[in-house]
């Protein structure tokens, strides 16, 4: 990923917060010369290592598992996409001065590089699924839990899944939020995004404001 210094994010805790908040990621891998991408929810465990451990699961029928299960480990990259929004040049006050402005895109993204291994132990998989469920159901008044489903049904479902665990070797973050603009243009971007008034543009506006 091309990273101008002004947009580079190197704080591990900041990147991990984005990974937790935007946990539906793209997992990119290359096995036996075949490049593939899987889209799946991942659970970040920052407490388990300096860069964190990422856990998830895929179907046993997934080509990633079918091709990679004989390998000790697979090098992968998980892409976590944060808030993003189009930036109109009409929002820059400098447009009225000289017109030398063009559209761009503001966004935050984290690339997590590491080694993936498959985990087929039932206890590990159940613990992972319970945590994944809790993270997505915990805020509800009546959260769904695994025990709500019949035990034999859950066991049948487990047979079709395999766990994945990624030991993260490095994190690469890009936070592009108009840092290269003068204060007046930056304020124009913030106000323009607020005026568009979507969930994404409001989130990006907050990050532009800092």
State residue 157 phi and psi, 5-degree precision. Answer: -65, -40
Question: What is the structure's pLDDT at 69?
Answer: 87
For the chain, the structural domain boundaries read: 5-84+104-178
Task: Please count the CA atoms within 13 angstroms of the CA of 55 that sit on its side-chain side.
Answer: 19
Question: What is the structure's pLDDT at 33?
Answer: 86
Quote the CA–CA distance of 88 and 96 in Å, as a whole number. 14
Which three-class secondary structure state does DSSP give residue 30?
strand
Quote the CA–CA distance of 202 and 23 in Å, as a whole number. 19
Closest CA to 74 of 2, 158, 1, 169: 169
Question: What is the structure's pLDDT at 32?
Answer: 82
Architecture of domain 5-84+104-178: Roll (2.30)
Question: What is the structure's pLDDT at 158?
Answer: 95
> Can you give the pLDDT of all 210 residues of the chain as single tens digits?
999 999 999 999 999 999 999 999 999 999 888 899 999 999 999 999 999 999 999 999 999 999 888 888 899 999 999 999 999 999 999 988 898 899 999 999 999 999 999 999 999 999 999 999 999 999 999 999 999 999 999 999 999 999 999 999 999 999 999 999 999 999 999 999 999 999 999 999 999 998
Cβ burial 114-142 (10 Å sphere, 16+ → b, else e): bebebeeeeeebeebbeebeeeeeeeeee
| Distances, alpha carbon 110 to alpha carbons 81, 83, 114, 195, in Å | 7, 11, 13, 27
CB 54 within 8 A of CB 45: yes
Quote the CA–CA distance of 73 and 187 in Å, as a whole number. 47
Quote the CA–CA distance of 177 and 82 in Å, as a whole number. 12
């Amino acid at each position: 990923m091309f990273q101008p210094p002004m947009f580079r994010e190197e704080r591990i805790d900041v990147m991990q917060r984005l990974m937790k908040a935007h946990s539906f990621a793209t997992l990119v891998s290359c096995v036996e010369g075949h490049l593939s991408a899987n889209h799946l929810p991942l659970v970040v465990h920052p407490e388990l290592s300096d860069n964190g451990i990422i856990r998830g699961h895929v179907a046993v029928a997934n080509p990633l598992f079918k091709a990679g299960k004989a390998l000790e480990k697979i090098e992968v990259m998980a892409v976590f996409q944060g808030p993003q929004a189009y930036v109109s040049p009409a929002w820059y006050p400098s447009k009225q001065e000289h017109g030398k402005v063009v559209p761009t895109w503001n966004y935050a993204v984290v690339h997590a590089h590491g080694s993936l291994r498959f985990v087929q132990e039932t206890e590990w998989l159940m613990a992972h699924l319970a945590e994944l469920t809790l993270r997505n159901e915990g805020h509800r008044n009546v959260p769904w839990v695994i025990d709500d489903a019949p035990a034999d049904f859950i066991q049948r479902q487990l047979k079709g899944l395999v766990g994945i665990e990624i030991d993260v070797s490095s994190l690469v973050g890009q936070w592009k939020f108009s840092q290269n603009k003068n204060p007046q243009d930056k304020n124009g971007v913030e106000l323009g995004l607020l005026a568009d008034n979507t969930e994404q543009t409001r989130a990006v506006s907050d990050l532009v404001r800092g």
